[in-house]
Each structure stands twice: as C-alpha cells, then as structure tokens.
Amino acid sequence: MAPRDTNGEALMRLLGEAGFEVAFGIPGVHTLELYRGVAKSGMRHVLARHEQGVGFMADGYARASGKPGLCLVITGPGVTNIATAMGQAYSDSVPVLVISSANARDDLGRGRGRLHESTDQVALTAALTALAALPEDPGLIPGLIGQAMRIFASERPRPVHLHIPIDELGKPAGGKWHLERPIPAPAPDKAAVAEARKRLSAAVRPVIVVGGGAVAASNEVRALAESLEAAVVTTTAGKGVLPESHPLSVGATLQLQTTQAMLADADLVLAIGTELAETDSWTTKPLVFGGPLIRVDLDPAKLVDDHRADLAVRADAAAFLRALGPLGEGRNSRDAVGRAREVRRANAASWGALARRHIAVLDSLRQALPAHGFVASDMTQIAYTGNCTFPVEYPRSWFHPNGFGTLGYALPAAIGAMIAVPDRPGLALAGDYGFQFTLPELGTAVELGLSLPVVLWNNEGLGQIRDDMVASGIPETGVKARNPDFLALARAYGCGAERPENLPALSQAVTRALAAGRPTLIEVRPDIAGG
C-alpha cells in the first residue's frame, strides 16, 4: 500500500490543480514539509533573497499575467517580512496567495518562546488581506483554497494568506483533496445596464475614467469609447487599457489640472474599475464632476464612498461593457477627439524643468523598449512623471506601487513579470534610495539568466522628500545618504553594468541589456538630460 501524501504534499498538489505553475519563496526549517510537496509536484520554484522580494515578485507575476501569484514563507519573520508586499497587493487589488507555516497548534498564543513565535500571527496579516485563516483542521484546507480562488475570480482580487501549523504539515492527508471551482463574478443588473445605456446615449460631453479593474476589458473599453465618442482618462493602474496613442485618450493624467477640468466640464462621467483614490488624482478632496457619475465596480464599498455614484453597477468591467453594447444611436454631436487633443496639448505644456528632464530620459527608454514591453517602476520622481508621460499601448505594461507606495518594488516585480510573460521584454526603473531596499534580488535575476535592464535613476538621495522639505521651509534632514558604487555592486552579483553619458547612449545600453542573457544595471544621473 503506497503511503498517503502528507498535508504539505497534498496542498502543493492542490495548488497545481488550481493552476499555479510557479512558487516564489525562501525555504526554512518550518516549511520543509511544504517543500517536500514542491519537489514532488514539479512546480517551478524561484528563490528570492528576502521575503519582501518574494511578495513583490508574486505581485509582478500577477500584474503581468492576470493570474494569481504564489508565495511560500516561514512562520514569524517570513510573515512580517512579506507583510509590506501584501499591503501593496491589497492596496492595488493584486491577487497573491501567501502560504506560510505557523507554530504548532498546541503552542499558538501560549508564549512558550518557540522558534519564530508571535502571539497572533493571523492578526498580523488580517488587515492586509481579503482573507487570513488558520484552518482548525487540515481537512478544511481545500475549502480555503477554493475560497481564495473565488476571491480572485469573482471579487475584488486581493491577497489571501493561509497559515498552516508546522505539526500539521507532515501528517498524512485525510483522503484525496479536491478543489472547488470558483464561481464567476456577478452579472450586471439588467435594469442598471439599461439605465446606463440611456444616460450615456443622451450625454453631450461624456468622459470615461478607467482603472486597474478594467485591465482585462481593453477591447470593450475601446469599442465603447469609439461608439460613444468619449474621451478616456485612466488611472496609473489602468494605463494602456486604451492605447495612449488613440485620439480619444488623454492617458493616465488624472492628477493633472487640465484633465480634472475636463471632468468638471463633463455632463456625465463613467468610472469603470477604479477607486478614484487620493493616489489616483493626488488630491485629498473628492474630484469634481460636472454631471452625474456612473460607477461600475466589483467592490460594493466603492459604489458608496466619497465619490458617491448617481448610478451604481456592481459588476466586472468586461461583463458590464459587453452587456452595455455599442452606443451609436440617438447621441448628440460632440468633438471628443478635439477636446482630448487640447487636453493632451495643455498637459504637455504644464511640466516644469525637472519633469522635462525626466521625460527626456523616459523617451530614450521608450525608444529602446519594444511597444509590447513592460516597465516595473518604483516610488521615485522619474516614475511619478512616467505615470503620466511614458507612452503605453497595451494594458499590463506599466506596474507601479501606487496605493501603498512602497519602496523596493521595481526590481523584484520586474523579475516576477519576466517569469510570467517570458516572451515580453521589460525593464525595472528605480531610484537610488528605494533600489537599495531590494538590491540583493539582483542575485535572483542573475540565477534566472534574465535579460533585464535595471535603470537606476541616481539623484543621490530621497529627491521627492528633499524637494517637499524645501517647499515647506523645513531644513533638509535625513534625505541624503552615502551611496555605494552601484556599478561595482552589480558586477559583484554577475550583472552587466553601464553608466551612459548621454541619451542616445542610454537607448543603446537598454537595447544591449534586452539581449544580454543576464541583468544589466544602467545607472542614470540627472545631468544626462542636460541642465
């Protein structure tokens, strides 16, 4: 009689059945039995250098592929280390499944000084997840995995964290585990769709606002915009849902005054899959809309928040747009293309000297990166400018830690994205300070042989905070740190390393890095763009 799978082995087999092909993690003494399951399942494992990197890799994997990312971490410090990445995924609605060990069941909350012990590990991540659970019995694990998959498929996709006591992982699994198939997202209410169609058809100056909840509805958004003849503005998370070269697109410019003025002048705004949050518009007060607001979102809480909808539709973006259909009859005449062109022109003229230097560098990167390539960016000034100005033609092409605003995101997220979509070129864009949060993940990229350009914007400190201090009359405090020799560090890891002296050389360096068979650190200093 063949031995039964352990709970750890059964769990990994179940995750394989659920469609997970890659696990990002760092093995530890508490997860040995999980890794027995990893080895037996044949699932690909990617070894990170820090659990924060584990989480950001899974996040980048999910954003690039549209499939949930999987993380394996140990009890205690593994959980607290990955918590920052979980917070980022929660804020930006990214589906990530975290499987961690927990202390033995009889030790939970007992304060016995066990290895990796915390008083309540589930409580540590409950606020950062859609679901954090420790099954009272291993037989409940399949149901919890099924619940996670339902959250990813039919609710606002946010992290799920499953804690498994270490004494349960090695026990024989009770019977054969089966996965419950996820249910689809709720269909939009027919009466609400009919009312939306009526209002949209009657609007003279409608504007469509598209967020990250619509990244899987690019074709439907384009069809609606063209049939309605409506200008489209996206959030950073929705960047590329409508190609930014499209004559109706004003890009991801929700934070710019001219775009906000366009919304205030609209006689109807349709917001699809977006929080309309502070980090979308960079205003602490609700946006002003000149006419009624129609909101479409899977999260019912978004339909009754500060931007309260005049018409609220709880639905998946693509399902709503398919139900809405084309709107070509009975609409009034309007020159949406002309208005969008004027908004783009005014926005382009509004940038100051620093942003124009950023734009010159970003244009050089755009020239080197193929149109279907992606960028994973960090919290750094050049990326803030790029959120608005870097031209993107496809969804899932610009990954930025917008909501939670973590440092150290770019490099590990780019690694995860390259694993998810190996046929797409990509690059990481980070500032010198934030890059050092996850710099050791260069080792992971080298091990994987990734042709990944890592573009390092080196302004010798925390540039945005320094500028904010100066603007607020605060002495510059704690905003300048001694940097290492980044090129030497990169070479020590086995990376290529370059410091181009001008913008054409920057484009050439990125082109070489995209074919190098290893990562390349490309250090860029602000004076590369002159001034």
For the cut 90, the answer to whether the pLDDT of residue 81 exceeds it is yes
Closest by Cα among 456, 523, 503, 514 to 361? 503
- Between 187 and 245, whose confidence is greater? 245
Q: Is the pLDDT of residue 263 over 80?
A: yes
State how far the Cα of 58 lies from the Cα of 416, in Å rounded to an integer.
6
Nearest Cα residue to 379 out of 412, 352, 413, 410: 410
Distance CA 408, CA 443 (A): 15
Q: What pLDDT, on a 0 to 100 scale, did the predictor assign at position 2?
A: 42
Element (H, E) at 210: strand 206-210
Which tens digit of pLDDT belongs to each residue from 380-393?
Answer: 999 999 999 999 99
* Tokens describing residue 34: 């999980």
Q: CA 446 to CA 496: how far, in whole Å?
A: 10
Neighbours of 256 (CB within 10 A): 22
Position of tokens 């010798």? 460
Q: How confident is the model at residue 228 (pLDDT cuts 50, 70, 90)?
A: very high
For 324, the 3-state DSSP assignment is helix
Cβ(221)–Cβ(210) below 8 Å: yes
Q: What's residue 245's pLDDT? A: 97
d(CA 303, CA 297): 7
Residue 13 above 60 pLDDT? yes
**Stretch 83-99: mean pLDDT:** 98
Paired residues of 311 in beta bridges: 294
Q: What is the pLDDT of residue 420?
A: 98
- Indicate the pLDDT class of residue 186, thresholds 50, 70 and 90: confident
DSSP bridge pairs for 100: 73, 163
pLDDT reported for residue 355 = 95
Query: Each residue of 272-307: pLDDT tens digit?
Result: 999 998 888 888 788 999 899 999 999 999 888 888
Quick check: 99 pLDDT over 80? yes
pLDDT for 428 beyond 70: yes
Can you give the pLDDT at residue 373?
Answer: 98
Neighbours of 502 (CB within 10 A): 13
- The answer, yes or no, to whether residue 333 has pLDDT greater than 60, is no
Q: What is the pLDDT of residue 1?
A: 26
Amino acid 306: pLDDT? 85
For residue 252 the two structure tokens come to 């991801």
Task: State mean pLDDT over 416-438.
Answer: 97
Structure tokens that stand for 98 in this block:
């975290």
**Number of neighbours of residue 509 by Cβ within 10 angstroms:** 23
- CA separation for the pair 138, 169 (Å, rounded): 8
| Size of the chain, expressed as the number of residues it contains | 531
- Residue 329 CA to residue 438 CA, distance in Å, equals 54
How high is the mean pLDDT of the chain? 93
The residue-averaged pLDDT of 149-158 equals 94
Q: 323 pLDDT band (50/70/90 cuts)? A: very high
**Whole-number pLDDT of residue 329:** 56
Q: What would the mean pLDDT of 5-15 be, rounded to a whole number?
A: 94
| Burial state string for 225-250 with b = 16 or more CB within 10 A and e = fewer than 16 | bbbbbbbbbbbbbbbbbbbbebebbb
H or E element at residue 332: none
What pLDDT digit, counting tens, does each position of 207-225 carry?
999 999 999 999 999 999 9
Q: Is the pLDDT assigned to residue 498 strictly greater than 60? A: yes
CB burial class (10 A; 0-12, 13-18, 19+) of residue 113? exposed
Confidence of residue 371 (pLDDT cuts 50, 70, 90): very high
- pLDDT of res. 146: 95
Task: Express each pLDDT in 451-483 by its tens digit.
Answer: 999 999 999 888 889 989 999 999 999 998 899
Band (pLDDT 50/70/90 cuts) for residue 185 is confident
In this prediction, residue 179 carries a pLDDT of: 87
CA–CA gap between residue 161 and residue 386 (Å, rounded): 32
Distance CA 463, CA 193 (A): 47
Rounded distance between C-alpha atoms, residue 84 and residue 80, angstroms: 8
pLDDT exceeds 70 at position 61: yes
Structural domains in the chain, sorted by start? 7-169 (3.40.50.970), 190-347 (3.40.50.1220), 351-529 (3.40.50.970)
Provide mean pLDDT across the span 69-76. 97
What value does the mean pLDDT take over residues 425-452?
Answer: 98
What pLDDT is attached to residue 248?
Answer: 97
Q: What is residue 334's predicted lDDT score, i.e. its pLDDT? A: 67
Average pLDDT over residues 47-65: 98
